[in-house]
Chain A
Amino acid sequence: MTLTKADLVQKVYQNHNFTKAQAAETVEAFLRIAKDCLKDGEDLLISGFGKFNVKEKNARRGRNPQTGDELILDARKVVTFKPSGILRARINGE
């Protein structure tokens, strides 16, 4: 089973006094704010859940694994996630 955005909308709709449209907009806004934060290169810390970091990667030499050609991989940013202790404990049933 996979949890999707539709499931999140359904949960918000069930648990709150929102219309379906309001529930959908709530989930969209939540995700939009989280994305905008990371887009700005800012870390997102959600206590009890985890931390999303934006890491800067330096340019490096790489290879095309298919052809073996050497190429330069540009400097870039990547998003990493570190689960909080509370989330880890919850997943491990502690």
Chain B
Amino acid sequence: MNKSELIEALAEELKVPLRDASSAATTILDAMADALANGESIEIRGFGSFVVKEYGSYYGRNPKTGEKIKVKPKKLPFFKVGKELKEQVNNPAK
């Protein structure tokens, strides 16, 4: 499923115009992205949580050429699946 299919399903379920479902979905996703950009974590019961990990700068290698390169500090978001979803993925009948 992609974003536009999700928006279509949302419009159908809420019985609202596609435009409204689309802007609501954008609001939700933007709020999540903004939180992560501010270094905040996200915790949604039943779904999962996101945390941002910070990495310092380190030396790595270009695997193709073997050349030594400096990797800049970076932040990466990580997702941990929630208990309910974790169980349901393995047992869809539940």
Once the chains are docked, how many angstroms separate the CA of A93 from the CA of B42?
Answer: 18
A2 contacts B14, C-beta separation under 8 Å: no
A79 contacts B85, C-beta separation under 8 Å: yes
Which residue of A has the minimal Cβ distance to B2? A45
Whether A46 touches B29, Cβ cut-off 8 Å, given contacts A38-B89, A87-B36, is: yes
Determine whether A40 belongs to the interface, using a CB cutoff of 8 Å to chain B.
Answer: yes
B76 to chain A, nearest CB (A): 7
Determine whether B92 belongs to the interface, using a CB cutoff of 8 Å to chain A.
Answer: yes
A12 contacts B24, C-beta separation under 8 Å: yes
Determine whether A5 belongs to the interface, using a CB cutoff of 8 Å to chain B.
Answer: yes
A79 contacts B28, C-beta separation under 8 Å: no
Determine whether B64 belongs to the interface, using a CB cutoff of 8 Å to chain A.
Answer: no
Q: How many residues of A contact B (CB 8 A)?
A: 52
A49 to chain B, nearest CB (A): 5
Contact of A5 among B1, B44, B50 (CB under 8 A): B44
Once the chains are docked, how many angstroms separate the CA of A33 from the CA of B2?
Answer: 11
A35 contacts B47, C-beta separation under 8 Å: yes
Whether A34 touches B31, Cβ cut-off 8 Å, given contacts A3-B41, A79-B86, is: no
A-B pairs, top 6 by smallest CB distance, nearest first, are A81-B79, A3-B35, A79-B81, A3-B42, A37-B1, A11-B31
Give A residues with C-beta under 8 Å from B.
Answer: 1-5, 7-8, 11-12, 15-16, 18, 22, 25-27, 29-35, 37-50, 52, 54, 76-81, 83, 87-88, 90-93
12 A-B residue pairs with Cβ-Cβ distance under 8 Å, sorted by A, are A1-B38, A1-B40, A2-B40, A2-B41, A4-B44, A11-B31, A33-B9, A33-B10, A35-B47, A35-B88, A49-B32, A92-B75
